[in-house]
Structure 1
Amino acid sequence: MQIDKKMSTGRCGESAATESVARLGKIGIRSEVGQLRRVVLHRPGRELDRIVPENRDSQLFDDVPWLEAAQAEHDNFRSILEIRGVEVVELRDLMENSLTYEDTIQAWTDLSISSGIHGTRVHGQVREYLTQLSPFDMCEILLSGLTQEEFDLARGTVPDHLVDLAQHYVVDPLPNAVFVRDSGTWVDTTLVGTRFASGVRRREAQYVSHAWQRAGARTLRSGAELGPAVEGGDVLVAGNGCVLIGVSCRTSAAGATELARELLTQGQAGSVLLIRLPEARSTMHLDTVMTMVDWDTFLVSGEHVASLAGFRVRLDRAGGVALTAVDDLFGELACLLGVPVVRQVSAAGDVFTRRREQWADGANVLAIRPGVVVAYDRNRFFNDALEKAGIEVLTLPSGELARGRGGPHCMSCPVLRD
């Protein structure tokens, strides 16, 4: 994929519409383990500095991260991928290209103004300020947020001391944007528009869906659509036409079933398995419990794998879906993948070690190619188990990135695999 970084020089809709915002190369995700060729990442920015002890829970973080260290860890992640020949596309580039279009500017401006802002006069002031910015500067604010204090200083106006200027936002930050898998995941040649369970992340899905549409991508649904929640971390493209969808604390049963029907109806999947997870913070998505590391091998959380429940989804004659409970989840998986047996690799160690590493996304790894994965360095027992199973493990420093409860799989959105 080549991103055309030429920006519109004006705000005229006609001139912006004539710009070529992107030239898409081949796109296709038919497995979780085929040779990775192209991936979308987002290097964390100032939005992480917006997390303070008072808002970390509402922003879905377990602690206050250190931005510079998180950026260094993410740069390491990118370097690992690029050394192995993977082309990295920055989410920011996709967003900036969309901001060469007048209708995108207007739509994203209205979308970004904090729900805590009341009054048409203030809305108008914020809208006027944002629409005069360059695509780069506007993108920075859309991701990092804008406080009332920053807004007043930028306009040279007297601050309103009746509000907590440092905590009162006119544009809310998006600190979870680093976990790009959730906001945009691909099945075959189609982007699955996700719907977030938490309101603090819903703008991400709308930005990503719109940006990809501007880049010429085919989307299964718009991220702006209302409906039951489905998040990208619960969608795994297992291979051989089989897609796994987790039913979790972030993806509802209704959302998973609706997505399964859409994938089967439109031919994006030949078979779909729903997998019900325990509802807990440590098992928020399917990819926190199991990820693929080879064509026939899954890394799994031994603490939770026995409690997973599988359901095969089929279309009925009326175009709806019928669910059939699966007695042997991994036996059914082997059948759908066309392999004799599915290997399960799990961490050794005592119960405390396994739980600690599962909390730090020990089962959340990204396959670069069959048998080669990127994993957090802190999860020694998970990584040892992988190496004993013949899997090459490329380790990534993880002191700060893990504070948001997301590993290498969560932080990557593959768009092309062999």
Structure 2
Amino acid sequence: MSADVPGMPTVKERSLRRNVGFAVSGRAVFALTQFGIIAVLTRLGTPEDVGALALASALVTPLFFLTSMGMREVHTVDDLDRFTRADYVALRMLAGLLAVLMTLAILATFYTHAGWLVHGSAIAFAMVKYFGAQMSLNHGIFQRAERMDYVALSNLGRGGLGLGVFAAAFWLTENLPVALAFESLAWLSTYLFLDRPLLRRLGAAQPFSELRNVHLSTILALAWWILPLGMALFMLRAAMSVPPILLERYVDFATVGIFGAIAYLHSALSMISNTLGSVTAPRLRRYWRKADRRAFVRLSLGMTLFAAGLGVVAVGIAVFAGEQVLRVLYGPGYDRADIFSIVMLASGISILGSPLVASVNAGQAFRRRLLTNVLAFVVVCALSLLLIPRIGALGAAWAMVGLTVTQTGLNALLYLSVLRSFPTTPQAETS
């Protein structure tokens, strides 16, 4: 049973193996639905449509990473002795609104020359991310209770409904902003009619009326505590946004679309590999509190070896069947196997280090993660400015490799640092 969630005596925990299975399968299905949106655009739209979506993602996603401040991961490993779940929910809603406002400010300041396709797509995509951010915190609650089957259900619901609504809207209107707006409504519906009933089953549904009792000072204290992780995640996602933004500046919009479609496969694999780490985070935190260093190391390194196997498979597919895979997925014009092989190399390296990040979070080393991601951001900016003006999309792909090599190496060092600070005596349990 879970001792962390009120009402949990009626809901049993799943074993770690079953949780990993639910987490990976649910995230894989969600990644496939997001790939489906790209496939719809490549088949029914133009490279400019794909480029607009890639640029909207590059602009908007880092803002939500910043304002989310890793709340899902933090809530999973927080002992809840200083802050309540209501504090997290209130901060998540307010921070999401801030990200939407920041999106509008960036469009009004730096993209006044862009037309409706870019402006409308970015605003509608921001609303998709807003509702997704609220669901992400729900997933953190499910994750804390070690009910990854609930996370899988939520991902299946929002991914499947979102893809179906997006595809129908784009087929009928041939308008990307309109299709994204309908997708955001689909995600809102999933939040209200699937996530919240699951939360009630856990006894963890937060009545909106109770949010009025949350104190602003408490919310600000929570934000200050987890802000370093938010900055770290922002730097990481901003680093991924640098190549497409510079491609739009130095090459053209259609190239952004081609690169964005191929690079999405990296994002899909990252979703799955990050899930491998997230599903183990509650148990890793439990080992930390119990001062069980041996179990902590065994679990984190075991997941790293499993992730490494996934990375080898991804690289192998790209090297030996890259052109055929791209032709099947996206159709003519997107079969750039040279770019695909380099992007998958970056993915393989990134997958290798992703479980170590969960171990770092379990040790609550949030501030140290900020430094590693700042250094990785500097590396990708330097490589992008050096390579993209010379070799275009290939330069963007190699910049991704430089990013993942830097990040994985630094995360390994950070993991060793966390092990050195491992507690030697068990800590008191909290509810």
Instruction: Please state which structure has a larger fraction of its residues in helix.
Output: 2
TM-score, length-scaled by structure 1: 0.23
TM-score, length-scaled by structure 2: 0.22
